[in-house]
Structure 1
Amino acid sequence: MEEYMLPCMNKKLFGIECFGCGTQRSLMLLVKGDFVGAFNMFPAIFTTLLFFIVLALHFIDKSRNYQKVIIGLAITNAVIMLVSYFYRLTNY
C-alpha cells in the first residue's frame, strides 16, 4: 500500500519533514490495528480523527452547535503537531 501514498513535497524539496509528515502511514497503521505504532508515527492522529468526526457531525446535525468543540480540537491538534514537529527536529 505504501507505493500508492503521496510523497511529502516539503521533505522532497527541502529535506525537512512538514507538520503532517507521517499522517498517511499512521492512518494505515490504524487500519491494521497498530494503535501504538500509529501514535508513534504521527502523535496527532487520534485528535485529528476526532476533529474530522466532530466536523462531520457539525454538517450533519444542525440542531447542535459544535463550534466550540471544533475550535478546541483544532487548537489541541495544532499544539500536538507543533510539539511533535519540534521534538522530531531536535531528536533526529
Structure 2
Amino acid sequence: MYLQPTIFLLYAKNYMLPCLNKKLFGFECPGCGMQRSVSLIFQGEFLAAFTMYPAIYPLFLLFSFLLVNNFRKIKHANQIIITLGIVSVATILTNYLFKLLQ
C-alpha cells in the first residue's frame, strides 16, 4: 500500500514524541520544537520551521554534509564539519537561552 506524502504527514503529527523534560520538570529542553520544525519543512513552511526551531537549518547542513562526505571525500572536510557543528550548537544554545528568558 502506497501512502501519499501529505497523508503520511497528517498521520505523523499524531505520533510525535512528547518532551520528557517538559513533562517532568515543566520547562522545555534544547531540542524542543525539532520534530514540529521538520514537519513544517515537509509541509513547505520554511519560515515557520525556522521560527519553531532556528537550529534546524544548520543541523540540516551538517547532516547533509556528513552524508555527502560519506560517499565522496571532500578536501578540508574536518574543518567544515567542526565549523558546522559549532554553528549548530551555538544556535541551539542561543535559542534555548532565549526560551528560558521568556
- TM superposition score normalised by structure 1: 0.91
Q: Which residue of 2 aligns with 1:82?
A: 93
Pairwise CA RMSD of aligned residues? Answer: 1.2
Unaligned runs of 5+ in 1: none
- How many Å separate the matches in 1 of 2:74 and 2:53? 33
Larger radius of gyration: 2
Instruction: List 4+ stretches of structure 1 deviating above 6 A.
Output: none
Q: Which residue of 1 aligns with 2:27?
A: 16
- How many Å separate the matches in 1 of 2:55 and 2:49? 9
- How many Å separate the matches in 1 of 2:25 and 2:69? 37
1:69 maps to which of 80, 83, 91: 80
Unaligned runs of 5+ in 2: 1-11
Q: How does 1:9-48 map to 2 (within 5 A)?
A: 9-48=20-59
- How many Å separate the matches in 1 of 2:65 and 2:31? 20
One-letter amino acid matched to 1:3: N
- How many Å separate the matches in 1 of 2:91 and 2:97? 10
Give the aligned length.
91
Contact 1:55 1:70 in 2 (8 A): yes
Deviation at 1:64, TM superposition (A): 3.7
TM-superposition CA deviations, 1:46-83 (whole Å, max 9, x none): 11100100011121113644111111001001111111
One-letter amino acid matched to 2:52: M
Instruction: State percent identity of aligned pairs.
Output: 43
- TM superposition score normalised by structure 2: 0.83
